[in-house]
């Protein structure tokens, strides 16, 4: 199959591909600027850990599997740690997969916390994966992931 080549951004693309590029371009233009800047889940975690290896375990993320309304989803994170001066959780960070921004919250704990546990309520724009990462005082990182199905309300309010 032969297509007339068109020059786009210095590269040669077929007409069909050009059409695709065009549509993507329109979509890109219509998206809010900041949405484009969203790092992936893994990128967000990497920027928190500074690229350090993240191990599975020692931390548990509780997230309801089925969510009635994504505007307020209760989550709890518990990490296994004696929470002593020598061995404690420094930070617990929570990330999401599909919201406009990957970060949810970063909690700063220490030996005076007594236990490594935090809970809060978060927004989930749609069904997705949520990850909790705990940074220990020895510099190691541990994570737990969970996913939730978010249903949308049947009767949404017309703001106009």
The interface with other proteins within residues 109-148 (CB under 8 A) comprises 109-110, 112-115, 117-124, 126
Nearer to other proteins, 14 or 100 (CB): 100
Q: Is residue 104 a contact residue for other proteins (CB under 8 A)? A: yes
Nearer to other proteins, 3 or 62 (CB): 62
Nearer to other proteins, 57 or 114 (CB): 114
Q: Is residue 159 a contact residue for other proteins (CB under 8 A)? A: yes
Q: Is residue 153 a contact residue for other proteins (CB under 8 A)? A: yes
Considering only CA atoms, which of 143, 125, 124 is closest in space to residue 134? 143
Residue span 59-78 as binding mask against other proteins, x where in contact by CB under 8 A, dash where not: -----x-xxxx-xxxx----
Positions that interact with other proteins (CB under 8 A): 32, 34-35, 64, 66-69, 71-74, 96, 99-101, 103-110, 112-115, 117-124, 126, 151-160
């Amino acid at each position: 199959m032969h297509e007339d080549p068109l020059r786009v951004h210095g590269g040669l693309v077929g007409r069909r591909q050009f059409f695709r590029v065009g549509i993507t371009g329109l979509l890109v233009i219509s998206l809010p600027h900041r949405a484009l800047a969203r790092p992936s889940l893994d990128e967000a975690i990497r920027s928190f850990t500074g690229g350090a290896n993240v191990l599975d375990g020692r931390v548990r993320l509780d997230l309801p599997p089925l969510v009635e309304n994504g505007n307020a989803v209760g989550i709890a994170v518990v990490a296994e740690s004696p929470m002593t001066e020598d061995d404690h959780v420094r930070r617990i960070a929570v990330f999401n997969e599909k919201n406009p921004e990957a970060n949810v919250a970063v909690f700063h704990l220490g030996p005076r916390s007594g236990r490594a546990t935090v809970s809060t309520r978060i927004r989930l724009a749609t069904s997705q994966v949520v990850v909790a990462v705990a940074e220990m005082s020895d510099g190691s990182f541990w994570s737990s992931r969970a996913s939730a199905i978010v249903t949308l309300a049947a009767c949404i309010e017309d703001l106009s």
